[in-house]
Chain A
Amino acid sequence: MINELQLISAQKSFGSKEVLKDVSFTLQTGDILGLFGANGSGKSTLLKILFGTLKATKATLTINGSPISLEKIIPSQYIGYLPQESFLPKHLKVRDIIPLFYSDGDDQDAIFRAPFIEKIASKKAGVLSMGEIRYLELLLVANLNHPFLMLDEPFSMIEPLYKEKIKEFLFSLKAKKGIILTDHYYTDVLDVTTSNIVLSNGFSSVVYSVEDLRLQGYIT
């Protein structure tokens, strides 16, 4: 089934500062949308609004053509979200964290059998490297049944080996999800995305190439 998420004219102000003035895009199953922007341009703010953990000043969201209140996103499990900071309980071992996300044995096995997971299964989350924890969190969130997935800086501080595994995994997810991806490692993002937008001065613009990113002032 092809699902479609449409964000229409999202606006967000913090006091007198307008972070988002008019941001719109459409995301379908099979799309990987790259979201670029300088620090403070509102990328994480936009993702939090879409996830329903931050209230927008104004925004209309439709899923498969039907408007949905942003407060309903979490309970209806339309969107999975990988935030920038690690969110797993640090005192638990990986093998004890996996059942928190998946009660079904087959689903748990799918995570345990993923590359790199077996060797970290008996370690506590708190002692994993940045790459290991990021990869584990991505696997845990992305394998849930949300039709859409948002990833905030999945490549940051990640060693090349894990980056390649993450890219392979994202390609494999395309068949069943629509994905929004934001990261300052723009070459890694461009490797996997099917379309891209850049946030600048509160507005979103479509970009097609590195040259467009340069024209938008994101890179020099």
Chain B
Amino acid sequence: MWNFYRDVTLYAAAVCILFGLATVPARDSIINGVLVTIVVFGVFGTGLGILAFGYFQKQQYYMYHNLGFTKRHLITRTYLINGFLAIVLLIITSFFV
């Protein structure tokens, strides 16, 4: 389960960091850019990560299935953990605004 979470979140983080780097210059401050990046990570990041996992590592689902994890189980857990992570990061970052 954690291996799946790590792989999906790495894809998600990579896409969101690239998005952040591309859009921060257009924002009025770096902190606002970071906040938007965290929101994008929380809302779209996991979905993008799952799409990337399905494209590059689709066969690995069979490893998780043999261990008793359904696709729905893996995706739901990952969404919940990353949603929670995004909220925590938003709260921490908001102290610097």
Binding site for B on A (CB under 8 A): 51-53, 71, 74-77, 80-81, 83, 85-89, 100-101, 140-141, 144, 146
Contacts and interface: CB of A to CB of B under 8 A. Distances in A.
A77 B55 CA distance: 26
Interface residues of B, number: 15
A71 B72 CA distance: 11
Interface stretch (B32-40, B44-52, B60-68, B82-90): B60-68
15 contacts: A52-B70, A53-B61, A74-B70, A77-B68, A83-B62, A87-B59, A87-B61, A87-B62, A89-B3, A89-B57, A101-B66, A101-B67, A140-B66, A141-B66, A144-B66
Given A77-B68, A89-B57, A100 B62 contact: no
A74 B60 contact: no
B65 A81 contact: yes
Nearest to A72: B70
A87 B3 contact: no
Given A81-B62, A81-B66, A101-B63, 4 more contacts: A51-B65, A83-B62, A87-B62, A89-B57
Contacts of A86: 59
Contacts of B63: 87-89, 100-101
Nearest to A96: B3
Contacts of A87: 59-63
A101 B59 CA distance: 16
Contacts of A146: 66
A53 B70 CA distance: 9
Given A86-B59, A89-B60, A74 B3 contact: no
Contacts of A75: 68-70, 73
Contact of A74 (B57, B59, B69): B69
Contacts of A76: 68
Contacts of A140: 66
A137 to B, nearest CB: 9
A85 B59 contact: yes
Contacts of B3: 89, 100
